Amino acid sequence: MRVPDTALAKTVTTLVREASRPGLFNHVVRSYVFGTKAGEVMGLKFDAEQLFVAAIMHDLGLTEPYLADARFELDSADAAAKILRDNQYPESKIDLVWQAIALHSTREIPERMDPIIALVHLGAFMDGGFKAELLTRKDLGELLEALPRLDSQGGFIESLADVLRKKPHTAYLAFERDIAERTNPNFRA
């Protein structure tokens, strides 16, 4: 499992690790690895650093420092754009990262867009078992050994449920609503 070794990648990794619960951190890194593997299998050309920063920041809106008023995908995208601007990342690349993060939980649409957008979406969904056929059992086993699912330590579902308790108005017409209904007996859309 290799990740980009650039100054930006290191900065973003540190920032995300400090903001995230262990289970959520492992999810976003696995999402990058899954997205990379999917891109290779599909023969897509993509910028590895750009995919990395988009994938690793795609759930920042589920962390306390980046919690704002919008749905978590938009909070994540806005936070990532600010972080990238603060690090002098090219604006044209920031826009693509923003789109990839904002659309990552949307079905079908990202897969018809730029490879960065498609691969952030696929990587995040592959971590939930979607399109698992793009990985070998060996690759999956090695990845889960290196970055285990730590759901009891704040994985994706737990992090999202916490955010939805704080911002129930963001759980509408999406999978977030299902999670809010299952985890919050007082939820009303």
d(CA 76, CA 87): 17
Tell me the DSSP string of 36-71.
HHHHHHHT----HHHHHHHHHTTTGGGSGGG--SS-
pLDDT score for 80: 99
- As a whole number of angstroms, the distance between CA 71 and CA 90 comes to 25
Span 35-75, pLDDT tens digits: 999 999 999 999 999 999 999 999 999 999 999 989 899 99
Distance CA 84, CA 101 (A): 13
Kindly report the pTM of this predicted structure: 0.86
Contacts 24+ apart (CB under 8 A), 143-150: 143/1, 143/30, 143/33, 143/34, 144/30, 146/1, 147/1, 147/26, 147/29, 147/30, 147/33, 148/26, 149/23, 149/26, 149/27, 150/21, 150/22, 150/23, 150/26
**pLDDT value, residue 149:** 80
Cα separation, 98 vs 167, whole angstroms: 21
Domains and CATH numbers, the chain: 7-183 (1.10.3210.10)
Q: What per-residue confidence (pLDDT) applies to 174?
A: 65
Say which amino acid occupies 168.
P
Write out pLDDT tens, residues 141-164: 888 888 878 765 457 777 878 877
Q: What pLDDT, on the 0 to 100 scale, is given for residue 38?
A: 95
Length of the chain: 189
The gap between the terminal CA atoms of the chain, to the nearest Å, is: 41
